Amino acid sequence: MASRLQNLCALIGAMALLGVAGAAEAGTVCQGSAPAVGAEIHGPVLQVLDSERLCVALGATPDQWVEVALAPEPLRKTSAHPANRGSLMAVAFAQNVTCRIVDIAQGLPIAACQLDDQSVRALTREPAAYTAGEAWR
């Protein structure tokens, strides 16, 4: 229990550090190794790089944070809102996601990510995510 509390405190501290350091402008701080195709990773999203890429924390330090690109999905006919960094922030930042690695492209894992059994990519196209995303810088 104490170890879990320490990890939680470290993750909260890391999230605060990212906010203070302006990580979005500085590029990725995620330094974790790319998992193999077929692997499944689970953890909180600690950085959203753009509308396509995010970092999943597998531990408390940046060398355990894995950058993934969201796997493409067909647009639903009801998708009136394009995904953008703000909508991905609104949907995924600080949320626990499960990502299955489906490919590796130029060293970057391509992943199908789920949040509460729903596709993260699909959630970014919801009107509420688009509206909430307008508030993110």
Give the tens place of pLDDT for each residue, 12-68: 444 444 443 344 444 678 999 999 999 999 999 999 999 999 999 999 999 999 999
Determine contact, residues 109/101, Cβ cutoff 8 Å. yes
Q: How far is CA 7 from each of CA 38, 42, 61, 84, 131, rounded to the nearest angstrom? A: 26, 15, 10, 30, 32
- Any idea where the domains of the chain sit in the sequence? 2-133
Tell me the per-residue pLDDT of 114-135, one tens digit each, with 9 for 90 and over. 999 999 999 998 889 988 988 8
Cα 71 to its chain centre, rounded Å, is 12
Report d(CA 88, CA 107) in Å as an integer. 22
Instruction: Give the β-pairing of 108-115 and 65-70.
Output: parallel
Render pLDDT for 69-102 as a digit per residue (tens, 0 to 9).
999 987 665 556 777 899 999 999 999 999 999 9
For 37-48, the pLDDT digits (tens) are 999 999 999 999
The yes/no answer on whether domain 2-133 falls in CATH 1.10.1060.10 is no
The single-letter code of the amino acid at 59 is G
List of residues 6+ apart from 67 with CB closer than 8 A: 28, 30, 32, 49, 53, 54, 55, 108, 109
Residue 103 CB neighbour total at 10 angstroms = 13
Residue 77, pLDDT score: 58
Q: Is the pLDDT of residue 4 over 60?
A: no
